[in-house]
Structure 1
Amino acid sequence: MKTFTTTPTRPLTLAAAMAALLAGCGTAPRALLLPQLAAATPATLQACSNLASSLALPDTRITSSELVAAGPITVQGNTTQAPAHCLVKGKMKERTGPVDGASYAIGFEMRLPQNWNGRFLHQANGGLDGSVVTALGAVSGAAPVAPGLVQGFAVLSSDAGHAAPTPFFGLDPQARLDYGYQAVGTLTPMAKNLIKSAYGKAPDRSYIAGCSNGGRHAMVAASRYAEQYDGVLAGNPGFSLPKAATAQLWKAQQYAKVSTPGANSQPDLSTAVTPAEFKLIGNQIVARCDALDGATDGQVNDVKACQTTFNLQTDVPSCTGARDGSCLTPAQKTVLASIFAGPKNSKGEALYPGTWFDPGVAGRNFAFWHFNAPATRDAGAVAFLFTTPPSTMEAFKATTGLQFAMNFSMETDYPKMFATSGPYAEPSWSYMTPPNAADLGTLKNRGAKMMVYHGVADGVFSPIDTANWMDRVQANHGGKADDFARLFLVPGMNHCSGGPAADQFDMLAPLVAWVEQGKAPDSVTANARGAGAKVVNAELPASWSANRTRPLCVYPKVARYNGTGDVESASSFSCK
């Protein structure tokens, strides 16, 4: 008989659980219906330098394994004191692509701490993958203060099956599938076997976490590999990535309508809305929506209420003369209203959700995704990864990224993400997205947990898309999804970090506490990165305390001021 447990040491049979539910007033906690997973137990590293010569794993070549002394590791300008650990590097599934003749493999590294907490962390990386970044386990919040390796996890990082962060691997059918989901499925059992060889036991608990495309990897794992992972942490997840990338090209077309020509006669998208004009919009959003959460503190927590309170047409001054940063032209307002609403086809059907008006629209990262990314990132991704069949190298190089964006048709090209062709037997929409994303039954039924966070001012992946997903999950699971999956919106935050936001937080430790101790996180405390922080956020308003903290609340709750107390302190706010 399958057993359920309320604690790791007190088994509760299914019959007893049902009796408890029926006893008394019948108000037993819903959590009794779900298994409680036992906590991981620590172990000490037993093998390292000999792993390369002694370990035999299917389709795997260990290229090096060496001990690394405790000391600093710097990743993207953020230095962390890492514990002593074993660094293992290798490759899986080495092959030659049948279409382009290029060499392919799933490259990886693992960092195995000397003093291990018994847990495995799959660090899902962002962007187009294509490089094995340091397996530090920095998987949540900006300039994380407690990455997974520091917390004692054995951490895996990979390139997801191709060796360069460019989209041209989309010519190879298998590389497409590896990027979409199969690399995770291939790496997971290998990593667990390697951990067993290094410590003498397999991991007690396994987690997968990442932001952006890493958040997408995590979302896909929650659907495809729920039996393999006990905890899933997905940040700013691009789980509808093909649609989001095509929406980026559509945005470029809209901004081109109010852009001035650049030196090459192509539209200079950055002239469509200047930094001063985005700052104006952000300031007007604050003016209208700041007090909706009960505190006038330069921060908008009640983002949904703000969407009906703030009106772009009437709350932002209209230009009667030249543009000088103090107004917007009617044409600019028309374009911005369309972009924030999201793309539609000629039938009026929504093709991808828009985004919310939030003070974070003034963030530099927001502008990057609107003006720079369509030509430099999204054009290539759409051409080679999200269009079937993919573009040829010759055709793509015959134009520019911006020209590709300008020529992209939401009527005839957009549907190609759902197409198959010859060796490309699986559509990009299928291999990139979680199958039936609203059904987390497998994850739920085995006692696993999922936490998702999303910056409200994400310039590329719609936070509305993620909120709508959470609504569907709740509906699909009878309004009880909070028992195993929770979403946290981060006001002001751009894509994974940045913007006028308290964007430094650790969601990995709360996820572990939820999975292994049953402590469901009602909120997560986030810090602003003001003066004195390890990596200072230069976009914080001058009126904020450098040490501002805020509670990030479980969607759809909002952090509201209690009416008394320091407005710079999370303790003065409650999730309601």
Structure 2
Amino acid sequence: MNKEKLNLLKVLILTLSLSTLVGFTYTIKQNKGGNPDNIPEIADVNITSISKEDAMAPHYKVAGIIGKNTKFELLLPDNWNGKFVFGGGAGFVGSVINLALSYNVLEKGYATVGTDTGHEGANPIDGRWAEGDMEAIVNFGHMAVHRTTVVSKAIIEAFYNNKIEHSYFVGCSRGGGQAMMEAQRYPDDFDGIVAGAPAYEWTSGLAMGMTHNVSKMFPDPNNLDEPLVSISDLKLVEDAYLEMCDELDGIKDGILNDPRACHFDIETLLCEGDNKEDCLSQEQIDALKAVYEGPQDKNGDIFYGFPFGGETHKDGWAKWITGGLNHVDDGNTFHQGIDNSSEEKFPTPPNYQYGFGTHLMKFFIYQDSTWDYTDFDYDTFRDDALFIGQTLNASSPDLSKFRANGGKLLMYSGWSDPAITSLGTIGYYEDVIDFDETAEDDVKLFMMPGVLHCAGGDGPWYVNWVDEIDNWVANEKDPEQIIVYFIDEEMKPAGSRLLCPYPTAAEYDGVGDTRDVKSFNCGN
């Protein structure tokens, strides 16, 4: 089992436990069970199997292939609630992934589907499949999710002999980017969409942004053993900015409510004279500033940098930005989850950003497996990436067609996300509102202090996003406030706080329990 699937299973187990421990309740609308004999023949779709399953909830599993390569698995519960939810993928996908299953959707009666997006990959950070295969790139970019949606809807309505009441998409990371692509390119597909930590800008944001970061941490692409900035160096930075800014929100907890409010200057950590302890070299400071500020060319900023947060967490920078091949066996890195069992061994990268960034450059943008970032010219990148960006990027702020259909878009991002900068997510949301200020009625962003990529971190991170989008669409209940839960080491709820729609943020009342949502309100 690859790491992405393992992580999905962990989240699924967590969700199953939370539904009892936190007291989440749900009611299944009792519909007459479907009939597998009603599943229609659809042009260019090969149904490879139909099986009766009992895992999670009694259901039929319909597996098939759309076109030449797009695999999907559609789950049809016996007690259908009249709704459909598509679960997004992760990384470069490469196997059928359905994030929606981590939110109890099958138990709640949703018909639900996932797809491999039209290719097989040895690992979710393996992009070698894209070299020389534009059809695979188009499927990955947008076509596979759309075609799977159309096919799934046809099967669902035939199976139950009934119309779908509401259709939702929920995803994070790659799935968040899929969500945004659906809202922009296929506005009729879904009534409600959840886009978490969205990978929406694959060229400037991921390919360039990630390659930029790792080139600063590993200036020589042939020496990936140790990063320029170590964990102890990062702790020095984190301790310094927390000492200055931790209590800006009235709580000393190692969490910045909004890192942009912290004006710490890492230049103050520069070593002076012969002193080499508890300080940083100019080269290290320059590398860190490059990550925090983002890549630039002769025309200015190419993409957003990263805010303070997540530098020393075991699933933070060590997993995504620093790492190093000498730390393959460390407990705080990701390498143990990489599957190298395929015949064509996947070369172990020093961190996730190196894997994603360089593979995007090699196999998507330049179509050259020998490419590396030695002497890379940033000034040509925008033109170099223009063609592939038209297929991969979901950066249009125009959501008018989606909104005209009654569509609702929920976005969320962890402030401490070390994978996809939260500043980019904010930037997209602000572009949407700048394009049409009335969009704030139908598009909402929730920023999550102390949260890493999609989940985890020092802050509270658990929200059932399917419940939230369903309440908004089906029950017309605007998500003006959302309760978010801390999770302890035993994967149990350990307190709660409040999420507020951006640009507002939760404010502490100054006297109550800092792990009780009642002690917070949504300020101005």
- The corresponding residue for 1:310 is 264
Q: Any idea what the Cα deviations from partners look like across 1:473-511, whole Å, max 9, x if unmatched?
A: 112222x32210001111122221233221222121011
Distance 1:216 1:361 in 2: 27
Q: Any idea what the Cα deviations from partners look like across 1:167-186, whole Å, max 9, x if unmatched?
A: 23321121111111111221
- The corresponding residue for 2:505 is 558
- The corresponding residue for 1:447 is 406
Distance 1:193 1:321 in 2: 72
Distance 1:270 1:195 in 2: 52
- The corresponding residue for 1:412 is 380
Does structure 2 retain, via aligned residues, the 8 Å contact 1:283–1:359? no
Distance 2:52 2:506 in 1: 45
Q: Any idea what the Cα deviations from partners look like across 1:46-74, whole Å, max 9, x if unmatched?
A: 223x46xx5301211111111111x4xxx
Letter in 1 for 2:264: F
Taking structure 1 as reference, are residues 373 and 270 closer, same or farther at Cα in structure 2, changes over 3 Å only?
farther
- The corresponding residue for 2:294 is 342
Does structure 1 retain, via aligned residues, the 8 Å contact 2:294–2:305? yes
Q: Say which is worse superposed, 331-340 or 374-383, in terms of deviation.
A: 374-383
Taking structure 1 as reference, are residues 350 and 446 closer, same or farther at Cα in structure 2, changes over 3 Å only?
same
Letter in 2 for 1:161: G
1:160 aligns with 2:117: yes
Q: Say which is worse superposed, 403-412 or 334-343, in terms of deviation.
A: 403-412
Letter in 1 for 2:43: P
Distance 1:511 1:90 in 2: 28
Aligned length: 464
Give the one of 495, 519, 526 matched to 2:484.
Answer: 526
Give the one of 382, 386, 399 matched to 2:361.
Answer: 382
Instruction: Give the structure-2-normalised TM-score.
Output: 0.83
Calculate percent identity across the aligned residue pairs: 27
Q: Any idea what the Cα deviations from partners look like across 1:155-209, whole Å, max 9, x if unmatched?
A: 1100111122532332112111111111122111100011112211132111111
Distance 2:99 2:163 in 1: 20
Q: Secondary structure at the match of 1:519?
A: coil
Q: Any idea what the Cα deviations from partners look like across 1:256-297, whole Å, max 9, x if unmatched?
A: 35xxx8xxx933364312222222322222222222222223
Does structure 1 retain, via aligned residues, the 8 Å contact 2:231–2:312? no
Letter in 2 for 1:137: A
Q: Any idea what the Cα deviations from partners look like across 1:289-339, whole Å, max 9, x if unmatched?
A: 222222223321132212xx322223x474766766x33223211211122
1:137 aligns with 2:100: yes
Question: Is there any run of 5+ residues in structure 1 with no aligned partner, and where?
Answer: 1-39, 72-81, 95-104, 139-143, 419-426, 535-545
- The corresponding residue for 2:465 is 507
Taking structure 1 as reference, are residues 562 and 195 closer, same or farther at Cα in structure 2, changes over 3 Å only?
same
- The corresponding residue for 1:92 is 66
Give the one of 127, 141, 151 matched to 2:108.
Answer: 151
- The corresponding residue for 1:430 is 390
Distance 1:385 1:42 in 2: 47
1:297 aligns with 2:253: yes
Taking structure 1 as reference, are residues 321 and 367 closer, same or farther at Cα in structure 2, changes over 3 Å only?
farther
Q: Secondary structure at the match of 1:548?
A: strand
Question: Is there any run of 5+ residues in structure 2 with no aligned partner, and where?
Answer: 1-27, 323-350
Larger radius of gyration: 1
Q: Secondary structure at the match of 2:300?
A: coil
Taking structure 1 as reference, are residues 510 and 197 closer, same or farther at Cα in structure 2, changes over 3 Å only?
same
Does structure 2 retain, via aligned residues, the 8 Å contact 1:222–1:443? yes
Distance 1:360 1:490 in 2: 16
Give the one of 220, 236, 253 matched to 2:215.
Answer: 253
Distance 1:349 1:269 in 2: 32
Does structure 2 retain, via aligned residues, the 8 Å contact 1:360–1:500? no
Instruction: Give the structure-1-normalised TM-score.
Output: 0.76
Q: How does 1:61-72 map to 2 (within 5 A)?
A: 61-69=46-54, 71=55
Distance 2:232 2:316 in 1: 14
Distance 2:279 2:384 in 1: 40
Distance 1:364 1:274 in 2: 15
Q: Secondary structure at the match of 2:303?
A: coil
Taking structure 1 as reference, are residues 317 and 225 closer, same or farther at Cα in structure 2, changes over 3 Å only?
same
Q: Secondary structure at the match of 1:206?
A: strand
User: Structure 1 residue 362: deviation in Å?
Assistant: 3.9
Q: Secondary structure at the match of 2:72?
A: strand
Q: Any idea what the Cα deviations from partners look like across 1:15-67, whole Å, max 9, x if unmatched?
A: xxxxxxxxxxxxxxxxxxxxxxxxx965232223x46xx53012111111111
Q: How does 1:157-556 map to 2 (within 5 A)?
A: 157-164=114-121, 165=123, 166-170=126-130, 171-243=132-204, 244-257=206-219, 266-268=222-224, 270-306=226-262, 309-314=263-268, 316=269, 318=271, 326-345=278-297, 347-359=298-310, 362-371=313-322, 372-387=351-366, 390-391=367-368, 396=369, 399=370, 404-418=372-386, 427-434=387-394, 437-478=396-437, 480-533=438-491, 547-556=494-503
1:47 aligns with 2:35: yes
Distance 1:385 1:202 in 2: 40
1:567 aligns with 2:514: yes
Distance 1:205 1:106 in 2: 24
Does structure 1 retain, via aligned residues, the 8 Å contact 2:170–2:465? no
Does structure 1 retain, via aligned residues, the 8 Å contact 2:311–2:318? no
Letter in 2 for 1:491: P
Distance 1:147 1:132 in 2: 18
Taking structure 1 as reference, are residues 203 and 349 closer, same or farther at Cα in structure 2, changes over 3 Å only?
same
User: Structure 1 residue 153: deviation in Å?
Assistant: 1.4
Q: Secondary structure at the match of 1:291?
A: helix
Taking structure 1 as reference, are residues 147 and 318 closer, same or farther at Cα in structure 2, changes over 3 Å only?
farther
Does structure 1 retain, via aligned residues, the 8 Å contact 2:33–2:160? yes
Q: How does 1:93-108 map to 2 (within 5 A)?
A: 93-94=67-68, 105-108=69-72
Distance 2:176 2:144 in 1: 15
